[in-house]
Amino acid sequence: MAALSDQLLVATILAYLAAMIAHATEYAFGHRSVVGRAATRVPQLAAVGGGAPPAPESTPDHPPVPATAGSGGGSAGGGAPAGSGAIPAAQAERWAGHAAVLATVLGALAHLGVLVTRGLAAGRMPWGNMYEFAVAITFVGVVAWLVTLARRPELRHLGLFVALADVLLLGATGMTAYTEAKPLVPALQSAWYLVHVSSIIVASGLLLLGVVPAAMYLIRDGYEAGRRSFPYSLGARVPAAAALERLTFRLHAFAFPLWTFAVAAGAIWAESAWGRYWGWDPKETWAFISWVVYAGYLHARATPYVRRRTAAWIAVIGFATMLFNLYGVNLFFDGLHSYADAD
């Protein structure tokens, strides 16, 4: 069962990787994209490139698209079909987009499988050490992303960054923090294990996801202000800045009370396990720092004269503190929350 869980993790990462490639394809070859437009403008060039041999497909369920779908962003100039007429660019774009979503859903199912098989193998909830914790957090992020997507399909282009973040976080976790499946140490044998850790996972997942619209807002905002250099060029395809900004706020507004609750539940547990509800353990300190930064974000967002860009930057800083708490604190500092077997 534990071996199955490990194999599913590989499948999960591969599925997210496929989603990432499909999203990137959609990005690069969509008719509204910079590359796509450039390709349409110079059909001669496209006709020359059209003779290149077809590249391998990115996703198995994807119907054959000449040359471009699987070849990634780099070889963009080569075989853009937009002008040469094999398949209309808009259609290719839609296929790539749908393939990306499908890959994300498959990845999420495999991701769930990783957690379930882990839990069965260890005979407990699958968040007993840093490895499982990070796998669970990224799962929450993906589910929250899919829920968002179901409600706001026009945000699909953000999927590239969600998939990218998932691949990076899961890959880093698998490499640095992998731990054998085993039962809980006595310190974790408590009902609060369920409450505290699960709520921390949900809140962290949402807060980590929140950086995607925040960063895209910053990019799109610059794009709308007329900037075209990298990274603002990425802003061409994403939804309007105002919509991204609102999504950022709603994710954070939803996650912040959850985070507060999760930290409070941890404090109640700490009282019965360690004798004090708050002791400035490194993990606690960084949870406090994140809480303060996100409180700052919500205040900045609610204040009319604070620019939305400033608020979004605070959200990005909040993300950095969360990420540091998740990885940095476990790996660099020695504390009561040291459940990572990374050394």
Partner 1 sequence: MTAFLRNSWRQLTSMRTALVLLFLLAVAAVPGSVLPQKGVKVEDVEAYARAHPDLAPWVDRLWGFEVFTSPWFAAIYLLLFTSLVGCILPRARAHWRAVWARPPAVPRNLDRLPQHAAPADAAGDAAAAAAAAAARLRRGRWRVAARAEGEGAWGVSAEKGHLKETGNLLFHTALIAVLLGVAVGSWYGWSGNRLVVAGPDYAFCNTVQQYDEFTAGPRVDPAALPPFCIELTDFHARFLPSGQPAAFRARVAVDGDGRPRREVPVAVNNPLRLDGANAYLLGHGFAPVLRYTDRFGRAQTTAVPFLPVDDLSTGEGAAKFPDANVDPRTGARDPRLQVAFEGLFLPTVPDAPPFTRSAFPEERAPGVLLWAYRGNLGEDAGIPGSVYRLDQAAVAAGALKQVGEPKLLRRGETWTLDDRTTVEFLGTRRWVTVSVRHDPGQVPVLAGVAVVLVGLTGSLFGRRRRVFLRFTPAAGGGCQVRAGGLPRTDYPGFADEFSQVVAGAVGAPAQVRDRGGTD
Give the binding site for partner 1 (CB under 8 A).
Answer: 182-183, 185-187, 189-190, 192, 246, 249, 253-254, 256-257, 260-261, 264, 267-269, 271-282, 285-286, 288-289, 292-293, 295-296, 298-300, 303, 305-306, 321, 329, 333-335
Q: State in angstroms the smallest separation of the CB of 275 from partner 1.
A: 4
Q: Cβ 293 to partner 1, closest distance in Å?
A: 5
Contact 82, 46 (CB under 8 A): yes
Shortest separation between residue 330's beta carbon and partner 1, angstroms = 12
Q: What angle do CA 132, 134, 140 make, to 5 degrees?
A: 105
- Cis peptide before 231, with omega less than 30 degrees from 0? yes
**Which CB atom, from 295 or from 342, has the smaller least distance to partner 1?**
295
- Can you read off the two tokens belonging to residue 1? 């069962």
Instruction: Give 52 or 184: the residue with its C-beta nearer to partner 1.
Output: 184
The DSSP call for residue 63 is P
CB of 31 to partner 1, least distance (A): 27
Q: Identify the burial level of 328 via C-beta atoms within 10 angstroms of its C-beta, where 0-12 means exposed, 13-18 middle and 19 or more buried.
A: middle
Query: Between residues 168 and 298, which has the closer beta carbon with respect to partner 1?
Result: 298
Nearer to partner 1, 176 or 190 (CB): 190
* Single-letter code of the amino acid located at 66: P
Nearest CB to partner 1, comparing residues 156 and 301: 301
Helix or strand or coil: residue 304? coil
* Shortest Cβ 145–partner 1 spacing (Å): 19
Question: CB count, 10 Å around CB of 173?
Answer: 24
Q: Quote the tokens at residue 98.
A: 């749908």
